[in-house]
């Protein structure tokens, strides 16, 4: 008997948005922006907060396993970008292009370090984020998405931002200056996450209704290294939700 695969109408758009944000923020992390006297943030700050909100919506509507797979797709995209960049910036260029090539190398060669730091940060932070929001959904019986999203993102984002900032900039800027970067970065992230949780709630409800799905992650494996999406459990979970 041929199994009927689940088709999601809007998951592709969330996937495209998430991976786009993931790649853009990875490239912009090495650009520091002065926001006040002695305080600055990375260029990826104003993009990064969107990724946790997107992943929260996906975890809420489609479940932990789809969100987990989406995080892995983001990691694979960053790895591909990093390997491609590391190879291309080291290839020879024409003599008349040397100045431009030097500037390009300076701006892009640190992407490898940023990518490795980002992957570690995602493992430590964003997997915790989707785990918490999925578990809290069961505990609250699907209520209080705003509170669940903000609380899980607060924990996950704090771990992600702190880990990535330390790994990317340790040794490149003085230790005393790390606080001038880390504190504003966290403050902006928390503020944007709290404000964005309301639109995320509306979008999650609209998407769930449009997809005709409401998943509870009951009896599933929360193994981070599994890529299973659990298509066979959609009907089961939808019935449990009702």
Q: Residue 231's pLDDT is what?
A: 52
Q: Residue 5's pLDDT is what?
A: 59
Tell me: pLDDT of 228 over 80.
no
- CA–CA dist 21, 200 (Å, integer): 16
With DSSP H G I counted as helix, E B as strand and the rest as coil, what are the percentages for the chain, rounded to 5? 75, 5, 25
State mean pLDDT over 170-186. 85
Tell me: pLDDT of 2 over 50.
no
Model confidence pLDDT, tens digit, residues 36-49: 777 888 888 888 77
Q: What is the pTM of this model?
A: 0.84
Give whole-number Cα distances, 162 to 83, 97, 181, 184, in Å: 25, 38, 10, 11
* Burial class for 164, CB neighbours closer than 10 Å (0-12, 13-18, 19+): buried
Closest to 129 (Cα-Cα) out of 75, 26, 52:
52
């Amino acid at each position: 008997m041929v199994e009927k695969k689940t088709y999601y109408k809007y998951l592709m758009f969330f996937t495209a948005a998430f991976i786009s944000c993931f790649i853009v923020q990875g490239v912009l992390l090495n650009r520091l922006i002065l926001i006040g006297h002695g305080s600055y943030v990375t260029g990826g700050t104003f993009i990064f907060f969107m990724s946790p909100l997107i992943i929260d919506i996906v975890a809420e509507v489609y479940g932990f396993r789809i969100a987990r797979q989406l995080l892995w797709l983001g990691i694979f995209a960053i790895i591909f970008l990093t390997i491609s960049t590391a190879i291309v910036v080291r290839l020879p260029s024409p003599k008349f292009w040397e100045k431009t090539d030097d500037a390009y190398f300076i701006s892009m060669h640190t992407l490898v370090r940023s990518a490795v730091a980002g992957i570690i940060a995602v493992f430590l932070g964003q997997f915790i984020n989707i785990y918490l929001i999925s578990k809290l959904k069961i505990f609250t019986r699907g209520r209080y998405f705003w509170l669940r999203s903000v609380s899980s993102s607060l924990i996950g984002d704090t771990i992600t931002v702190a880990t990535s900032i330390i790994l990317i900039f340790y040794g490149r800027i003085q230790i005393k200056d790390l606080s001038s970067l880390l504190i504003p970065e966290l403050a902006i992230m928390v503020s944007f996450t709290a404000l964005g949780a309301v639109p995320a709630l509306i979008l999650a409800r609209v998407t769930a209704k449009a997809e005709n799905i409401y998943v509870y992650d009951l009896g599933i494996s929360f193994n981070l290294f599994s890529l299973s999406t659990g298509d066979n459990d959609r009907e089961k979970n939808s019935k449990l939700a009702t």
